[in-house]
Amino acid sequence: MNTTPTTKALVLVGRGRYQDRWHDDAATGHRVAGELAAAGLEPEVRGTAPAALDDATGLALLVVVAGTGRADPDWDGGDERWAPFHARLAALVAEDGVPLLALHQAANTFTDAPGWAGLIGGRWVPGLSMHPPIGPAVFRPVPGEDHPVVAGLDPVEAFDERYCLLQPEPGTRVLLTTEHEGVEHPVVWQAPGPGRVLYDGLGHGTRSYDSPSRRELLRREVSWLRGGTP
């Protein structure tokens, strides 16, 4: 019997109805895949498609880099065609125990899947959530928080967007915040479960990952999601 831990990772990038015009999901997904490879994983990048998860087995990690884009039933089918995809994704996490990392605009993706916000522990609310102009940004661990992802972590600095007024679900454990107009806004959190799930609001584009402190945060997230201690 083979008991070797799996190192397969799947980076799911938005296309069609899940690729918004503000983000280069493919470029960012491939950059994230490079960071996963550096962490010892074997990543594969796939675009969202109804059958994209049909053969997704033996995963050590699932990463979602997707948003909200072109919903065109004549092109990629209506919501009913995508229902098995969303059911499969939820089952991978809740039943198979695959760790999930949802990045940046993933708070505003899969809006046709009612359970997605609960799975990742929160969401972007159109008309409420916002961000100031992209630029040099600082993201700080919550004071006194001893979660392995942030314990001993210095503030993260990156050229990025600062998502504000996201709406975490009850029971979410906020790990990092960012300040805007004197208010601290949650940007990284652990979802209530089931399973190991993190939402990380950083990562607007590849430039975010040029930052060593941002890459360190990602490394810690991946380590914790896989059951380790950073």
Identify the pLDDT of residue 4: 54
pLDDT tens digits, one per residue of 169-180:
999 999 999 999
- CA-to-CA distance for 94 and 85, rounded, in angstroms? 14
Q: Check if the beta carbon of residue 123 is closer than 8 Å to that of residue 170.
A: no
pLDDT tens digits, one per residue of 72-103:
777 788 899 999 999 999 999 999 999 999 99
Identify the pLDDT of residue 230: 58
Average pLDDT score over residue span 103-109? 98
Q: How far is CA 80 from CA 62, 73, 76, 120, in A?
A: 23, 10, 11, 22
- CA-to-CA distance for 90 and 41, rounded, in angstroms? 22
Task: Give residue 228's Cα distance to chain centre.
Answer: 19
User: What's the whole-model pTM score?
Assistant: 0.96
pLDDT bin (cut points 50, 70, 90) of residue 189 is very high
b/e burial code for range 193-218 (CB count within 10 A of at least 16 → b): eebbbbbbbbbbbeebbebeebbebb
Percent over 70 (pLDDT), the chain: 97
Identify the pLDDT of residue 194: 86
The per-residue pLDDT of the chain, averaged, comes to: 94
- CA-to-CA distance for 178 and 188, rounded, in angstroms? 9
pLDDT tens digits, one per residue of 124-136:
999 999 999 999 9
